[in-house]
């Protein structure tokens, strides 16, 4: 089973978002275990991220189309023993120190999203990537 940890600042407060995340977590449960670590502030986020390799969700990171993302993630899962950690930065993003430490900097989009929306987009993209890797019809080109 693949394991993904997402480290982020703040809690998921919106009920509609919790429902959407729960739907994707349900879809993922046979192939991927998803866990959330919610830091109270940027300092706690940094302390948590200094403990392990992570993928930084960064607007200035690498932009990939879905099939290329799937390949990249499958390679990283293989390389990192089926375990990946993703980080969603605070309102001011990541410090240069953390960006240097990141395993990879991935941009979901050149657009700016709320932390809440980023959680959902990340979760859907993890699901999409796994479906592409399986060859399912979920992703249509």
Mean pLDDT computed over every residue of the chain: 94
Question: Cα–Cα distance between 139 and 141 in angstroms, integer?
Answer: 7
The CATH T-level fold of domain 2-134 is: Alpha/beta knot (3.40.1280)
> Can you give the residue ranges of every domain in the chain?
2-134
Q: What is the pLDDT of residues 6-49, one digit of tens each?
A: 999 988 888 999 999 999 999 999 999 999 999 999 999 999 99
Assessment of whether the complete model's pTM goes beyond 0.85: yes
Question: Cα–Cα distance between 91 and 127 in angstroms, integer?
Answer: 26
Res 139: pLDDT: 84
Question: Is pLDDT of 115 > 80?
Answer: yes
Res 72: pLDDT: 98
Please, is 140 exposed, middle or buried when counting C-beta atoms within 10 Å of its C-beta (0-12, 13-18, 19+)? exposed
Q: Could you give the angle at the alpha carbon of 86 between the alpha carbons of 59 and 132, nearest 5°?
A: 85
């Amino acid at each position: 089973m693949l394991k993904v940890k997402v480290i982020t600042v703040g809690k998921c407060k919106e009920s509609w978002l919790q429902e959407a995340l729960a739907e994707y977590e349900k879809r993922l449960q046979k192939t991927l275990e998803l866990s959330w670590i919610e830091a109270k502030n940027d300092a706690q986020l940094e302390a948590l991220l200094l403990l392990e390799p992570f993928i930084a969700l960064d607007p200035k990171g690498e932009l990939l189309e879905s099939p290329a993302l799937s390949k990249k993630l499958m390679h990283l899962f293989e390389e990192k023993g089926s375990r990946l950690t993703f980080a969603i930065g605070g309102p001011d993003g990541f410090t240069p120190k953390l960006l240097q430490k990141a395993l990879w900097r991935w941009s979901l989009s050149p657009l700016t999203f709320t932390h809440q929306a980023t959680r959902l987009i990340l979760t859907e993209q993890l699901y999409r990537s796994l479906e592409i890797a399986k060859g399912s019809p979920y992703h249509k080109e």
